[in-house]
Structure 1
Amino acid sequence: MSTSETTTMTAPNPAAARIPKKTVKDFKFIKEIGSGSYSTVFLAIESGTNRELAIKAVSKELVTRTKKISQVFREKDILALLTDCSYAVKLYCTFQDERTLYFGLTYCPNGDLLQYITDAGHLEEEVVRFYAAEIIEALEQLHNRHIVHRDLKPENILLTDDMHIQLTDFGSGVIMDNNDSPPQSNGTKNVDEEKKPIKRTNSFVGTAQFVAPEILKRGAIHVGSDLWSLGCIIYQMTTGKHLFRGHHEYDIYNAVARVSYKLPDDFPPLITDLVQNLVRLEPSERLGSEETGGMEKLKSHAFFSQFSYDTKWGNLLNQRSPLETKVKLSSRPKLSNDELETMSSGFDDRVEARLIGLRMASDAPNGIDAIVTGSSNISLSNETSSLHETDNQSTLSDQSSTKSMYNSPSSNSSFNNNAPVIARRLQMPDHALSLSEQASKNVYHKFVQNNLIIKQGILDKKKGLFAKRRMFLITEGPAIFYVDPDAMELKGTISWTADLRIEQKDMKTFLIHVPGRTYYLTDPDQDANTWCKSLISIHYRYYNTDPNRKLSTTTSYSSSSSSSAMQTIVPVTEL
């Protein structure tokens, strides 16, 4: 552990000292409601008060190994400073046991903003205006407390019972000042100040589609980073799409660094002007920065002049959310007192087993057994994926119909299905050139045994109650490799045989079933459908079979065909 991390962990924080101390025995853990790269979030009920809380359980082993200790304690310190902020989740208590740190947070029963954008396709202008205004008020409260969020995105905007916002996930945040003086006039911190504990992280933070260029380049900290993210969120609410897009994160980062984006021709004029004034290269030029007139200037933008008569800045929390009347809010059956009485308090192996069982049962369409034998609930909407070349990489795009592809004769396949799987290369022009370009430009090439990468991206790989963030690489062969993106270390492979099955659970989660094991994967960008379509397309091209069929529980793993398929990749034991 570094000296700075030790200082951060032990330095007294007056605000944090006021947080009540509890123990794990004070709570009954009901169900899992979310997960991240080193934490899992549970709905829990406090014994005695029956108060519902979201308990964030952080693995000590994972944060130590991934050097995220300072990030965890930074989030705690920021939450302690936001106890009177009406637009941020509250930190009610903290406690720990031998393996885990626990944070008791506000429970927001209606999920996050992203799910409503995804379900609706895009939000109506009235809804965009309301939530953009609430985000602006939330940022004003944060920035007045010298806090920059730095990872603002729809997934980190939770919705309360009455559909108002609560910001969450402050692990990437930074406290710009530790005293009562206002932020510097230019909104930045100088190099010497950035060396002080807690004020700055030394590694890249944020999410590709929402991260500001100065964060990407590790430049000076500026409140304008959140204004950039606001512009990206407004665009996504309006269109249902990301403002910055690319086949790989590398493409997205390049677009962000160049501020390279294109608005649709029919994009609403007022929103066009708002986005263009928020998404600017220089933080000081973004509407809402101190240099442009501050938040009052942003609030006076013409887009917000169309508020109804009774909707006032500073009074939004007392207004009815336009989403509350347009969506069916989630029903939350309450546990009876008898059920609560019989439920064990604390978090031991029995509770952990119960929670894992509940998660698996809720994921499976027909109970726990269906995880192995059940059919997939994925809907492809008559779309499938075809292979083409973009930016010298083989990527996937949706073009033809699933039915026509699945019914095509095997003789039309680009592959000789009788050849050993390991020898199957993509039959495409300039394959050697594409592979050479990949070797020189893609840092993950060294992990894929000289195979051409068809799709790659970050996924959270669940193991027990905690997830590990991995870069997944789907290659010709076919093969699946996964790499620790922090340590740049190959962690494992998934044996791709004819028996592999794909199962999408929701917009965020999907499963890969292979004989003897199921991989539980979550896409942080909530685009599980694209992953599943890609995997299905590749599987059919190699094996000419539907990977959504049921797995046989009596599959023979010693057959010659299975043995041949198992040679697809060299197994690497998960570390």
Structure 2
Amino acid sequence: MLASRLTHLHIPPSNSSPPPTIPIKISNSPTYSAPFHPPLLLHPPPRSSSGTHKSYTTAPTPSSAPPLASPSRNPSQLSTPIRRTSSTIRPPMILNVKFLRNKVVKKMGVVEIEEVKKVRMKGKSGDDGIFAMKVMRKDTIIKNNHVDYMRAERDILTKVVHPFIVPLRYSFQTKSKLYLILDFINGGHLFYHLYRQGIFSEDQARVYTAEIVSAVSHLHKSGIVHRDLKPENILMDADGHVMLTDFGLAKEIDESSRSNSLCGTTEYMAPEILQSKGHNKNADWWSVGILLYEMLNGQPPYTHANRKKLQEKIINEKLKLPPRLTSEAHSLLKELLQKDPLKRLGSGPRGAEEIKSHKWFRTINWKKLEERELQTKFTPDVSGNDCTANFDKCWTTMPLDDSPAPTPTAGEHFHGYTYVAPNPWLSTE
């Protein structure tokens, strides 16, 4: 049962003012803890150089949402079956939390609806595991019409297993908040390192881009479109490999379908999304092209302080490529940043294989890459599993106050949210 896995949940304090440890234990009694502090996903602060890169959507949420789908994974990928708690099979499907021994380690960021904290969880054997805890207020989710996105994120994370995607370990809820427990990736955001280095060399960017292509390809094969690929949503582990995170705008789309939602982060949104022409997985390949351009040049190809003018530039302006880049890099960028989604690299019947076989990737051994055997060109300076040195201090030094949240009346939106990964202690070392 999930409760037995979460016997002790510690959120260690910041170095500046350690708060006292509050004992916490999970109970099966029908009582609930006071709301935890409202946290976020793994986002860095807004960019001072080019303005806030904010994700947004305009898709409405139905007045009544069906219960969350049961977790499902490819049996060939897992050696143990999915563990379900009693909370996941009987309404109201809420993990009964009476007291959580919870000590916040570091606050990793804040956005409108959610927040992410680094937490320490004590396992059965007494060894501690460091995780990222994403916390979302139910009332804000409902108010902002984000119920569908919240439900999709949790469902998608239960299905995805890939070496370059941050794995979900648990999900649970209280009366007022939702919680996702994911692996803590301590190398920081890709944006943080790009901002510090200015630009990446083609050799350095090649490995990162290949790992992103591998992760996105896996999503597409699973019928999932990410729709918010950007440096803030890509983390780097202690070995220098990138890890895709934040599935808050991801959507499951079958091969013949298109989505008409206006969602994403403007600088990385494909023209067909901005024009409301309907989009599919091809929109992700546009975002990969923007990411590669930014890694090689320090900023996206289309920027403007005014959102409307920025959208017009993305739709109409011709791509300008720096002459210092190799002809192979020019070729790949032109093909990924093709404004017509049907002509974009990766849109053909071979999908991601078209991208993997591009001459810019000729030095990449894709089998070794997906086994994490390729040597990275850069390794972040990490002092331990709980190191936060590679995250911006404006987030990790924030006060760890806990804001109460009201209990929404529309609780049926969140039935079935609880989940336990088949082996949640797989990566706690």
TM-score range, shorter chain: 0.5 to 0.7
Q: What letter is aligned with 1:234?
A: L
What residue number does 1:375 align with?
none
Is 1:142 aligned with 2:219? yes
What residue number does 1:289 align with?
347
Residue 19 (structure 1) shift: 6.2
Q: Which runs of structure 2 are paired with 1:247-396 in the superposition (5 Å)?
A: 247-291=305-349, 293-307=350-364, 312=367, 314-315=369-370, 317-324=372-379, 328-332=380-384, 362=397
Larger gyration radius, structure 1 or structure 2: 1
Residue 109 (structure 1) shift: 0.6
Tell me how large the CA RMSD over aligned residues is: 3.0
| Counterpart-to-counterpart distance in 2, 1:144 and 1:266 | 35
| Counterpart-to-counterpart distance in 2, 1:74 and 1:167 | 16
Q: Which has the higher contact order (CA 8 A, sep 6+)?
A: 2
What residue number does 1:58 align with?
136
Give yes or no for contact 2:69–2:155 (8 Å, CA) kept in 1.
no
Q: What letter is aligned with 1:262?
A: K
| Counterpart-to-counterpart distance in 1, 2:300 and 2:394 | 30
What residue number does 1:67 align with?
145
Q: Which runs of structure 2 are paired with 1:102-501 in the superposition (5 Å)?
A: 102-177=179-254, 183-184=255-256, 189=257, 200=259, 203-291=261-349, 293-307=350-364, 312=367, 314-315=369-370, 317-324=372-379, 328-332=380-384, 362=397
| Counterpart-to-counterpart distance in 1, 2:263 and 2:144 | 14
What residue number does 1:79 align with?
157
Where 1:317 maps in the other structure, the secondary structure is coil
What residue number does 2:116 align with?
41
| Counterpart-to-counterpart distance in 2, 1:319 and 1:361 | 31
TM value normalised by structure 1: 0.51
Where 1:7 maps in the other structure, the secondary structure is coil
Where 1:34 maps in the other structure, the secondary structure is strand
Residue 297 (structure 1) shift: 1.9
| Counterpart-to-counterpart distance in 1, 2:174 and 2:109 | 20
Residue 464 (structure 1) shift: 6.8
Residue 6 (structure 1) shift: 2.8
| Counterpart-to-counterpart distance in 2, 1:278 and 1:361 | 36
| Residues 103 and 268 of structure 1: CA distance in aligned 2, closer, same or farther (over 3 Å) | same
Residue 125 (structure 1) shift: 1.2
Listed as ranges, the gaps of 5+ residues in structure 2 are 1-59, 74-80, 86-94, 388-392, 405-429
Bigger strand share? 1
Where 1:45 maps in the other structure, the secondary structure is strand
Deviations 1:71-127 (A, max 9, x none): 111111111111x22221111111112221111112111111111111000001110
Is 1:25 aligned with 2:95? no
Name the % identity.
27
Give yes or no for contact 1:19–1:92 (8 Å, CA) kept in 2.
no
Listed as ranges, the gaps of 5+ residues in structure 1 are 178-182, 191-199, 336-357, 369-461, 467-575
Residue 294 (structure 1) shift: 2.1
Q: How many residues align?
A: 319
Q: Which runs of structure 2 are paired with 1:493-572 in the superposition (5 Å)?
A: none
Q: What letter is aligned with 1:303?
A: W
| Residues 86 and 286 of structure 1: CA distance in aligned 2, closer, same or farther (over 3 Å) | same
| Residues 314 and 329 of structure 1: CA distance in aligned 2, closer, same or farther (over 3 Å) | closer
Bigger helix share? 1
| Counterpart-to-counterpart distance in 1, 2:354 and 2:285 | 13
| Counterpart-to-counterpart distance in 1, 2:140 and 2:234 | 25
| Residues 110 and 20 of structure 1: CA distance in aligned 2, closer, same or farther (over 3 Å) | farther
| Counterpart-to-counterpart distance in 2, 1:465 and 1:235 | 40
